[in-house]
């Protein structure tokens, strides 16, 4: 079970402490000096507790996958992103990934919910995966987590890593995203820098970058852009999209809709699954 103290969660959001004018001046001075320090200490302690809980959570899972189905995935232990979402009143969250031969295969977003940590999984693999916790299978997505598609561009992948990064950031900016719950459309902005940069000789990826569309700084959609070698042996671009939210969403490339999902359907075997904290 992953649990933690939230005795100062509210303090994360409270930036001002005010006092009634009915208090004595001495009490006002005393409290003005003491309470901000106390609140800051509680905020820091709560943030530390949350981060400690976040860092422990991924260690409880073991993943296997790949083309053979039994290759062990490697956890990147440092979070790719620490986030918050004031719109949903989520004060803190963190994103982790597992990789295989350098390429992202699983994304995990963690966030507090009523004193426990909820776990939001998304397969980024082109193969089925198996997740085990204490030896028991807890998630077994049987379908690929995303579909990589050709990305047409006049820019061919450059020969140097810095130049390719500039190209991938420019290509990412060609995409836009919106959350589409009933009755309204909410734009999601793209973080300007990729969360993760990678290459994978075994997967044929010359260079790749993982971008995120966010609400607040909370990832809603992940965008992978990769430089690969096409069937004619020439460098080319491809992209893939994966959800990190339960709500309906749509992604456009220029003015064309290229990806659209409805409310998430979740089960033990779906590529996207939220596991509630215990």
Do the beta carbons of residue 61 and residue 72 sit within 8 Å?
no
**Residues 6-30: what's their mean pLDDT?**
35
Q: Report if residue 70 sits inside a domain.
A: yes
**Residues 33-42: what's their mean pLDDT?**
44
Residue 41 has pLDDT above 50, yes or no: no
Q: Report if residue 239 sits inside a domain.
A: yes
Q: In the prediction, which pLDDT does 160 show? A: 96
Q: Report if residue 197 sits inside a domain.
A: yes
Q: Report if residue 142 sits inside a domain.
A: yes
- What pairing do the DSSP bridges indicate for beta strands 205-215 and 186-190? antiparallel
What domain count does the chain have? 1
Q: Report if residue 205 sits inside a domain.
A: yes
Q: In the prediction, which pLDDT does 114 show? A: 86
CB atoms within 10 A of CB 147: 13
Structural domain including 232 reads: 56-275
Higher-confidence position of 172 and 203: 172
Residue 20 has pLDDT above 50, yes or no: no
Q: Report if residue 27 sits inside a domain.
A: no
pTM for this prediction: 0.83
User: Who's near 121: CB < 8 A, 6+ residues apart?
Assistant: 106, 107, 108, 131, 139, 272, 273, 274, 275
Q: In the prediction, which pLDDT does 21 show? A: 36
Residue 166 to residue 176: CA distance in whole angstroms: 18
Q: Report if residue 199 sits inside a domain.
A: yes
Render pLDDT for 80-120 as a digit per residue (tens, 0 to 9). 999 999 988 898 999 999 999 999 999 999 999 888 899 99
- Burial tier of 180 (Cβ tally within 10 Å: 0-12, 13-18, 19+): middle
Q: Report if residue 33 sits inside a domain.
A: no
* 51 membership: H or E segment, kind and range: helix 25-56
Residue 228 to residue 201: CA distance in whole angstroms: 10
By C-alpha distance, which of 63, 79, 59 is closest to 71? 63
Residue 84 to residue 212: CA distance in whole angstroms: 14
Render pLDDT for 205-250 as a digit per residue (tens, 0 to 9). 999 999 999 999 999 999 999 999 988 889 999 999 999 999 999 9
Q: Which two tokens stand for residue 249?
A: 């969403």
Q: What is the length of the chain?
A: 278
């Amino acid at each position: 079970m992953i649990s933690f103290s939230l005795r100062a969660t509210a303090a994360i959001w409270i930036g001002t402490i005010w006092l009634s004018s009915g208090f004595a001046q001495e009490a006002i001075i005393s409290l003005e000096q003491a309470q901000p320090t106390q609140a800051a200490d509680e905020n820091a302690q709560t943030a530390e507790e949350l981060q400690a809980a976040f860092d422990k959570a991924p260690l409880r899972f073991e993943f296997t996958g790949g083309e053979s189905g039994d290759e062990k995935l490697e956890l990147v232990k440092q979070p790719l992103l620490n986030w918050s979402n004031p719109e949903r009143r989520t004060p803190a969250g963190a994103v982790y990934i597992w990789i295989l031969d350098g390429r992202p295969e699983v994304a995990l977003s963690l966030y507090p919910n009523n004193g426990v940590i909820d776990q939001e999984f998304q397969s980024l693999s082109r193969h089925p995966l198996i997740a085990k916790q204490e030896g028991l299978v807890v998630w077994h997505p049987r379908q690929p987590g995303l579909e990589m598609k050709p990305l047409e561009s006049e820019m061919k992948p450059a020969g140097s890593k810095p130049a390719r990064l500039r190209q991938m950031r420019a290509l990412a900016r060609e995409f836009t995203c919106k959350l589409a719950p009933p009755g309204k459309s909410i734009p999601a902005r793209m973080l300007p820098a990729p969360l993760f940069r990678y290459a994978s000789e075994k997967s044929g990826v010359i260079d790749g970058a993982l971008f995120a569309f966010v609400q607040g700084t909370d990832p809603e959609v992940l965008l992978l852009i990769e430089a690969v070698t096409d069937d004619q042996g020439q460098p080319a671009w491809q992209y893939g999209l994966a959800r990190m939210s339960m709500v309906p969403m749509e992604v456009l490339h220029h003015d064309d809709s290229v990806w659209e999902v409805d409310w998430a359907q979740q089960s033990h075997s779906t590529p996207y699954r939220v596991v509630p904290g215990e």
